[in-house]
Amino acid sequence: MGYSGRVLEDPSSATAEAAPFWQTKPLEAMSRAEWESLCDGCGQCCLLKVEDEDSGKVFVTELACRLLDLRSCRCREYATRHTQVPDCVVITPDALRQIGWLPETCAYRRLAEGRDLEWWHPLVSGDPETVHHAGVSVRGWTRSEEGVRPSAIARYIIGEAG
């Protein structure tokens, strides 16, 4: 047998593909674009919540903010949402420590807790529809808060938040 001139690489020395940013960067170091891309588009944070004044427990309702597009599960007025809905919560790395009602599936919460993104997250799957196909989003079972009296919101509670 003669020498072919080909050098076989040692698999242990091969460089792996670079890990995605969410696995290598702390939340505080992410760019705005990276941070925004973590939102999976589930719409769960846009559901109205009710806090029990006595216990402090937070309950989630099936009512969505009037700005939520119930089909896409995205805010129709994202850039100006705070003007139209002053109590809209801004999720930031610091705020994550204060927000106990984010769902277990939320990418921000998962990463803050040291977990990775789920297979259905658009950054992993490459498809913004997988969050809906996996049944994680509010698509198809929620309704807008429009037309619901504030005194009736508690009737729409579906469970404890978080």
pLDDT in tens, 77-133: 999 999 999 999 889 999 988 888 999 999 999 999 999 999 999 999 999 999 999
Kindly state the average pLDDT of the residues 35-57.
95
Give domain status of residue 141, yes or no. Answer: yes
> Does residue 120 lie in a domain region?
yes
- Which of 4, 30, 20, 6 lies closest to 96, judged by CA? 30
Residue 18 lies in a domain: no
Q: Is the pLDDT at 26 greater than 70, yes or no?
A: yes
Q: What is the pTM of this model?
A: 0.84
- Asked if residue 23 has pLDDT above 80, the reply is yes
Domain containing 102 equals 29-160
Q: How confident is the model at residue 16 (pLDDT cuts 50, 70, 90)?
A: low
Alpha carbons 107 and 117: distance in angstroms, whole number: 6
Q: Which residues pair with 61 in a beta bridge?
A: 157
Helix (H, G, I), strand (E, B) or coil at 47: strand
Task: Say what percent of the chain tops pLDDT 90.
Answer: 81
Asked if residue 88 belongs to a domain, the reply is: yes
* 8 Å CB contact between 63 and 156: yes
Q: Is residue 10 part of a domain?
A: no
Count of domains observed in the chain: 1
In-domain check, residue 22: no
Greatest alpha-carbon span in the chain = 87
pLDDT tops 70 at residue 5: no
